């Protein structure tokens, strides 16, 4: 049993390399799942930044650790330290999950699969549908790539004129020209072009906020100026989960939209990592009961 009080000579190690790390929900989520299934692993959080990352990864190899998550600020810096990348991680240029397969460190990105799985669990059929995606940072990039891989038909990417705009252009180029065997068209617009934003949302099935707007220090803010941009049959989702209900989701509820916050994405990205390491499905209903007061949709 991988009960933290009962670690034995066969317990395998899992972990998280990030900083700051104290607020992370991942150790609780993984350890309670491991205990529930009686799997002999333990998941620890390690305060690791860019500077010590290479040494830590060398140490992880030497310790034959089974795998680890990577979060801010290490998601892109880890790439050259790994032996192989999943296609999604390669296209996104980022990794949040590493698995050690007989000494080979393989990087995956499960944020995008987490987001798409959350949509699926909420009964949303996204294949062939149109998504308006706000953002082009880490979360938005993972979502854009995975949405294209999973069959979303069209993605209108909006980003403000900041250092992430170039990444928005790159994401669209990867989707339109580099990923083979998909049927998705991506277009990039500036978030400042509100007329275009309104027009693209009008012809979309799903609107996704994948920026930090709505979360501290931008809590109470919203990239959609007013409810006239929304309509009842639009699905509105936010990657933010603190607070559970952002200003965007509040506005969407008043219009009568189906809404999803970022808890589902967080839960399912963890579930995918859990499966990669252990080969078993995370007991997500149990995790939801234990960890989230507000039901995850
Ligand atoms: P990032 O720094 O990589 O990207 C930030 C993005 O937000 C960029 O597109 C930037 O242009 C945009 N942005 C920032 N301030 C803005 C503003 N004032 N107006 C308009 N656009 C603005 O960040 P990230 O890692 O992609 O995280 C973004 C959000 O996603 C955070 O709130 C984070 O907590 C959340 N997130 C959630 C999950 C989950 O599992 N639910 C996973 C990863 C990230």
For the chain, give every domain's residue range: 12-109+266-291, 112-261
* 75 in active site: yes
75, 129, 130, 272: which one is catalytic? Answer: 75
62-111: per-residue pLDDT in tens?
999 999 999 999 999 999 999 999 999 999 999 999 999 999 999 999 99
Answer whether 93 contacts ligand 1 (Cβ < 6 A). Answer: no
| Residue 3 pLDDT exceeds 70 | no
Question: Counting atoms of ligand 1 from 1, which one is nearest the CA of 72?
Answer: 25
Answer whether 224 contacts ligand 1 (Cβ < 6 A). Answer: no
DSSP state of 244: S
Determine contact, residues 126/205, Cβ cutoff 8 Å.
yes
| Residue 235 pLDDT exceeds 90 | yes
Query: What value does the mean pLDDT of the chain take?
Result: 95
| Residue 2 pLDDT exceeds 80 | no
Domains 12-109+266-291 and 112-261 equal at CATH topology level? yes
Sheet containing 185-190, strands listed edge to edge, beginning at the edge strand earlier in sequence? 185-190, 154-159, 130-134, 206-209, 235-238, 258-260
Determine contact, residues 258/17, Cβ cutoff 8 Å.
no
* Range 253-270 average pLDDT: 97
* Two tokens, residue 14: 């899992």
| Residue 14 pLDDT exceeds 90 | yes
pLDDT at 6: 78
Nearest to 85 by CA among 59, 109, 102, 64: 109
Q: Which residue stretches of 39-190 are H helix?
A: 50-62, 87-92, 111-121, 138-149, 165-173
- The C-alpha atoms of residue 33 and residue 188 are separated, in whole angstroms, by 40
Question: Counting atoms of ligand 1 from 1, which one is nearest the CA of 141?
Answer: 26
In CATH terms, 112-261 corresponds, of 3.90.650.10, 3.90.45.10, 3.40.50.720, 3.60.15.10, to 3.40.50.720
For strands 206-209 and 130-134, give the pairing.
parallel
From the CB of residue 143, how many other CB atoms can be counted at a distance below 10 Å? 30
* Range 239-254 average pLDDT: 97
pLDDT at 173: 98
Note the pTM of the prediction, 2 decimals. 0.95
| Residue 295 pLDDT exceeds 70 | no
Give helix then strand counts, H and E, for the chain: 10, 13
Give me ligand 1 centre to Cα 160, in Å: 12
Report residue 292's pLDDT band, with 50, 70 and 90 as the boundaries: confident
Determine contact, residues 221/248, Cβ cutoff 8 Å.
no
Sign for the CA dihedral angle at 294, 208, 216, 117 comes to positive
Answer whether 143 contacts ligand 1 (Cβ < 6 A). Answer: no
Answer whether 91 contacts ligand 1 (Cβ < 6 A). Answer: no
| Residue 284 pLDDT exceeds 70 | yes
pLDDT at 294: 54
Residue whose Cα lies nearest atom 43 of ligand 1: it is 139
- The C-alpha atoms of residue 137 and residue 163 are separated, in whole angstroms, by 9
Answer whether 97 contacts ligand 1 (Cβ < 6 A). Answer: no
| Residue 56 pLDDT exceeds 50 | yes
Report residue 142's pLDDT band, with 50, 70 and 90 as the boundaries: very high
Residue whose Cα lies nearest atom 40 of ligand 1: it is 266
- The C-alpha atoms of residue 233 and residue 160 are separated, in whole angstroms, by 26
Determine contact, residues 86/272, Cβ cutoff 8 Å.
no
249-258: per-residue pLDDT in tens?
999 999 999 9
Name 44's Cβ contacts closer than 8 Å, sequence gap at least 6.
13, 14, 15, 16, 27
20-49: per-residue pLDDT in tens?
999 899 999 999 999 999 999 999 999 999
The third-level CATH classification (topology) of the domain covering 12-109+266-291 is Rossmann fold (3.40.50)
Q: Buried b / exposed e across 113-126, counting CB within 10 Å, b at 16+? A: bbbbbbbeeeebeb
Report residue 296's pLDDT band, with 50, 70 and 90 as the boundaries: very low
pLDDT at 1: 45
111-133: per-residue pLDDT in tens?
999 999 999 999 999 999 999 99
């Amino acid at each position: 049993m991988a009960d933290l009080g009962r670690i034995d000579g066969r317990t395998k190690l899992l972990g998280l390399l990030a900083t700051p790390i104290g607020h992370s929900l991942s150790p609780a989520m993984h350890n309670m799942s491991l205990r529930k299934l009686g799997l002999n692993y333990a998941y620890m959080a390690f305060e690791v930044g860019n500077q010590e990352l290479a040494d830590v990864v060398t140490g992880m190899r030497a310790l034959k650790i089974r795998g680890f998550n990577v979060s801010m600020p290490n998601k892109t810096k880890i790439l050259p330290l790994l032996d192989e990348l999943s296609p999604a991680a390669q296209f996104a240029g980022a990794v949040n999950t590493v698995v050690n397969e007989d000494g080979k460190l393989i990087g995956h990105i499960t944020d995008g699969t987490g987001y798409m799985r959350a949509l699926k669990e909420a009964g949303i059929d996204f294949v062939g549908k149109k998504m308006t995606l706000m953002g082009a940072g880490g979360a938005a990039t993972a979502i854009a790539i995975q949405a294209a891989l999973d069959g979303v038909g069209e993605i209108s990417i909006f980003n403000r004129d900041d250092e992430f705009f170039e990444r928005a252009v790159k994401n669209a180029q990867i989707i339109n020209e580099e990923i083979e065997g998909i049927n998705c068209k991506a277009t990039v617009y500036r978030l400042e072009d509100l007329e275009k934003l309104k027009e693209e949302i009008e012809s979309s099935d799903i609107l996704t906020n994948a920026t930090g707007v709505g979360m501290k220090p931008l809590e109470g803010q919203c990239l959609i100026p007013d409810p006239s941009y929304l309509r009842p049959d639009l699905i509105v989702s936010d990657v933010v989960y603190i607070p559970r209900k952002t200003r965007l989701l509040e506005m969407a509820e008043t219009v009568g939209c189906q809404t999803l916050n970022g808890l589902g994405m967080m839960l399912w990205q963890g579930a995918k990592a859990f499966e990669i390491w252990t080969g078993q499905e995370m007991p997500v209903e149990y995790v939801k009961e234990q960890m989230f007061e507000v039901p995850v949709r």
